[in-house]
Structure 1
Amino acid sequence: MSIKFRLTVMSFLQFFVWGAWLITIGTYCFNAKGWTGAEFGAIFSTLGLSSLFMPAITGIIADKWLNAEKLYGILHILYGIILIYVPKVDDPNVLYYVIFGAMICYMPTISLSNSIAYTILKNNDYDVVKVFPPIRVWGTVGFIAAMWLTNIFSSPNPPSFLHDFGLSVGNGIATLLDSPVTANQFYFAAFFAIVLGIYSFTLPKCPPQRLISKEASFTEQLGLNAFKLFSNSKMALFLLFSMFLGAALQLTNMYGDAYLNDFKNFPEYKDSIVVSSSTIIMSISQISETVFILAIPFFLKRFGIKQVMLFSMIAWVLRFGLFAYGDPAEGLWMIILSCIVYGMAFDFFNISGSLFVETTTDSSIRSSAQGLFMMMTNGVGAFLGSYLSGIVIDNYYTQNGIKDWHNIWIAFSSYALIIGLAFAIFFKHKHNPEEVAKVSH
């Protein structure tokens, strides 16, 4: 098998094992378990909390001591084992710690997968800017595939065609494991996470970039040099905005499916496709990602890193704003358009940000620097966004158990607009076409 194909399989499974439950866990907690926004917000905040330290720690380990592909495999196997236990938990306080354990293993694998792909492609003389996005796009395809499987098999009443062909897998697994049908999402993720963990040991070796010398300082021995990036004003500002935008990145993953599902409370919408296939509707967001990921090389070379990240922030304003005014009837186009712009909102910042780190850091701390970027976006930012949004929604946008989704999305959109304006004014970065080419060599 070719190197590109092997990395494509890794990318597909990397996001398949996340997409199987990430979008639907909100509906699972609100509807199947009956928990509050604050309880769910705390559980979801573990994604951010684990990213505060684990990507940086694993980046240091991969830079200094252990092959990146081996560390990656170990983490995925542990992640899969923990997910098997999730459906057995009925207490939100216990689930908080279980999901936290799973996220400690999973979140650092996102930045590790980037580092592994970059290393293998460079070692085989590929142009990373051209070759990596088409590989990464298969991660989005994996996420979509997982969402569709979840929507089909985690429903109490799977589509009739499954019964016609004797493929009522969802109910079959549920009966076998004596668990609610809605728990199937976690079993899907667990099985394929373990498969991915085993598969990663077959990838080309990605050894530590630099051995530790006896003369190295204590800071160097611990691999903490990446934190010196904060002493660079441009990098510090970039990481600060990464944190602020990170607070918005997971909001639609947290609440999007629950928002669409809540239209069932309106008689005129209860039988709409938005309610019956909410997860499939949400998957349009990931389908959109496949287009925008492939467009990233053009946008980066034409507009530069700063403009591409700014496009992302504008897209977040539209993402939330369109949700605020959409509905399953006359406003269905707004919901669909919101899902389409998500592709630009999510990928333009994450991938261009990752490439910015790749082009502005020394190779000896590159895995650590990628982990630091992940820490600020999916760590500090996502933790604050997840935890505080649950409290704010409970206190200001919920009455008698009914959420005011219109004003929730307006508040999120206003936040993204403020961050985008501040980024445009304060982050100074002149476009240099040769800058992007650096990552290819």
Structure 2
Amino acid sequence: MKKSTYFQLSFMMFLEFFIWGGWFVTLGTFMGNNLSASGGEIAQAFSTQSWGAIIAPFIIGLIADRFFNAERILGILHLVGAGLMYMMYTADDVASFYPYTLGYMIAYMPTLALVNSVAFNQMNDPSKEFPRVRVFGTIGWIVAGLVISFVFAWDSAENIAAGMLQNTFLMVGIASAILGVFSFALPKTPPSVGKDQKVSLSDILGLEALKLLKDRNFLVFFLSSVLICIPLAFYYQNLSPFLTEGGVENSTAMTTVGQISEAVFILLLPFFFKKYGFKKTILVGMLAWAVRYLLFAFGDMDGLFFMVITGVVLHGICYDFFFVSGQIYTDSKAGDKAKSAAQGLITLATYGVGMLVGFYIAGKVVDANLLGESSHDWKQIWLFPAGFAAVVMVLFAVLFKNEKVEYQD
């Protein structure tokens, strides 16, 4: 791959995840303070990610894969996203904010697959080249948090009270416009499917992979993946409000420790996977979810703040040891013909259905533990996903029979 192409793809990944990390992390805090939103209303806004994930396969399968170059669709979607971000920036109540958020996530979620398509199309050896490009996405997410906290200090207590978190949408809108324009200069990535080739609903949704559910082990893994997304939703939805309500300064930058941890533990995953096998790796990931929420529940923002920090650092184990290991397992079970369908089905079930249910439950639990106008019983809130993750872990340990899974470098 040419150096110029490497730069283009890396910059594309950087902006793709700078955009996501630049507003999604602080969304709950923004809505609670700027829009006086309830936990249920905040949950609805977060659930737009799930609706976007559910609708994304139709955009990719019916349009991007058949009629237009991926880089052009990517550019159009990000330009549309820039306009919707500006509308979110100007919205002053939940009723006007939510439709723009939903529209934005419907436009954004397909771009996650599109940037991968553009990148893979230029690579001779994706297993070696893709990680070097994808890491810039993680860097982009981290930089977004650092900019919010240390460059503009929009997440300081004073600036949150002054409504300054609203500026995150303007920042992300500008970044989205830049990526939208830049996308048209990316290497050409033509449609992967002919216009005249029939594509069924089953192909788009990955329903061909449903036959894998006849395998008891895969069924247990599949259901566990959906269920573990309920605790995951608590993390995304509540971490920022939890920290800011506790008076933590530079809270957005602090959350990026989780992304740094993710980058570190993904490098350790091959060793752990090969040494201990798939089942133990998955169980460690599930255990990390339960431990993380117990740390949040019993830690505080004073003498026990190290417990909260440790909970954030555990994100690398939580995500990589469960979700990345799960992708490897799914790939090994599917076979060559059903690999794409199986990965699509898992994505639809987790980020679509699982997270949608998770955000709904998280909103209900938060509202049930409201103590005052801007005060919550966070101990009780965090104990729910801790217990839930522990139950899923036990069920998986009992029902999943150990099997050998090869890790492909």
TM-score bin (small chain): 0.7 to 0.9
CA 1:428/1:23 → structure 2, altered by over 3 Å: closer, same or farther?
Answer: same
1:219 corresponds in structure 2 to 200
2:13 corresponds in structure 1 to 11
2:370 corresponds in structure 1 to 398
Do the aligned partners of 1:11 and 1:139 also contact (CA within 8 Å) in 2?
A: yes
1:230 corresponds in structure 2 to 210
**1:352 pairs with 2:325:** yes
Do the aligned partners of 1:56 and 1:375 also contact (CA within 8 Å) in 2?
A: no
Question: Which range moves more in the overlay, 357-366 or 318-327?
Answer: 357-366
1:261 corresponds in structure 2 to 244
CA 1:355/1:65 → structure 2, altered by over 3 Å: closer, same or farther?
Answer: farther
What amino acid is the match of 1:219? S
2:229 corresponds in structure 1 to 246
Structure 1 CA distance, aligned partners of 2:291 and 2:121?
35
Do the aligned partners of 1:56 and 1:372 also contact (CA within 8 Å) in 2?
A: no
What amino acid is the match of 1:113? V
Q: How far did 1:240 drift?
A: 3.0
What amino acid is the match of 1:311? V
Structure 1 CA distance, aligned partners of 2:96 and 2:393?
37
CA 1:302/1:81 → structure 2, altered by over 3 Å: closer, same or farther?
Answer: farther
Structure 1 CA distance, aligned partners of 2:335 and 2:80?
31
Residues 220-249 of structure 1: CA distance to partner in whole angstroms, max 9, x if unpaired?
Answer: 7x7447212112224555443332222222
Q: How far did 1:411 drift?
A: 0.9
| SS at 1:84 equivalent | helix
Structure 1 CA distance, aligned partners of 2:62 and 2:329?
19
Structure 2 CA distance, aligned partners of 1:239 and 1:322?
27
Matches within 5 A, 1:4-403: 4-55=6-57, 57-59=59-61, 61-121=63-123, 124=124, 126=125, 128=127, 130-152=128-150, 155=153, 180-211=163-194, 216=198, 219=200, 223-224=203-204, 226-233=206-213, 234=215, 237-264=220-247, 275-361=248-334, 369-395=342-368, 397-401=369-373, 402-403=375-376
Structure 1 CA distance, aligned partners of 2:386 and 2:121?
37
Structure 2 CA distance, aligned partners of 1:406 and 1:211?
54
CA 1:205/1:212 → structure 2, altered by over 3 Å: closer, same or farther?
Answer: same
Do the aligned partners of 1:210 and 1:364 also contact (CA within 8 Å) in 2?
A: no
Do the aligned partners of 1:247 and 1:377 also contact (CA within 8 Å) in 2?
A: no
What amino acid is the match of 2:86? I
Residues 347-400 of structure 1: CA distance to partner in whole angstroms, max 9, x if unpaired?
Answer: 3333333444555557677655544332222211111111221122212x2233
Residues 231-285 of structure 1: CA distance to partner in whole angstroms, max 9, x if unpaired?
Answer: 2224555443332222222322211111111124xxxxxxxxxx22222222211
1:269 corresponds in structure 2 to none
What amino acid is the match of 1:290? A
Do the aligned partners of 2:148 and 2:154 also contact (CA within 8 Å) in 1?
A: no
Structure 2 CA distance, aligned partners of 1:72 and 1:356?
29
**1:421 pairs with 2:359:** no
What amino acid is the match of 1:188? M
Aligned residues: 401
1:164 corresponds in structure 2 to none
Structure 2 CA distance, aligned partners of 1:422 and 1:103?
33
Greater RCO, CA 8 A, separation 6+: 1
Matches within 5 A, 1:427-438: 427-428=400-401, 430-433=403-406, 436-437=408-409
Q: How far did 1:158 drift?
A: 7.8
Structure 1 CA distance, aligned partners of 2:243 and 2:304?
12
| SS at 1:250 equivalent | helix
Structure 2 CA distance, aligned partners of 1:376 and 1:436?
24
Do the aligned partners of 1:56 and 1:369 also contact (CA within 8 Å) in 2?
A: no
Q: How far did 1:324 drift?
A: 0.9
Question: Which range moves more in the overlay, 60-69 or 86-95?
Answer: 60-69
| SS at 1:292 equivalent | helix
| RMSD between aligned residues | 3.0
What amino acid is the match of 1:192? A
Do the aligned partners of 1:59 and 1:368 also contact (CA within 8 Å) in 2?
A: no
CA 1:358/1:156 → structure 2, altered by over 3 Å: closer, same or farther?
Answer: closer
CA 1:54/1:353 → structure 2, altered by over 3 Å: closer, same or farther?
Answer: same
Q: How far did 1:17 drift?
A: 0.2
Residues 189-245 of structure 1: CA distance to partner in whole angstroms, max 9, x if unpaired?
Answer: 11112222333333334334343666x5x737x744721211222455544333222
Identity of aligned residues (%): 33
Structure 2 CA distance, aligned partners of 1:256 and 1:418?
22
Q: How far did 1:56 drift?
A: 5.0
Q: How far did 1:98 drift?
A: 0.9
Structure 1 CA distance, aligned partners of 2:163 and 2:271?
46
Runs of at least 5 residues in structure 1 that lack an aligned partner in the other structure: 160-169, 171-178, 265-274
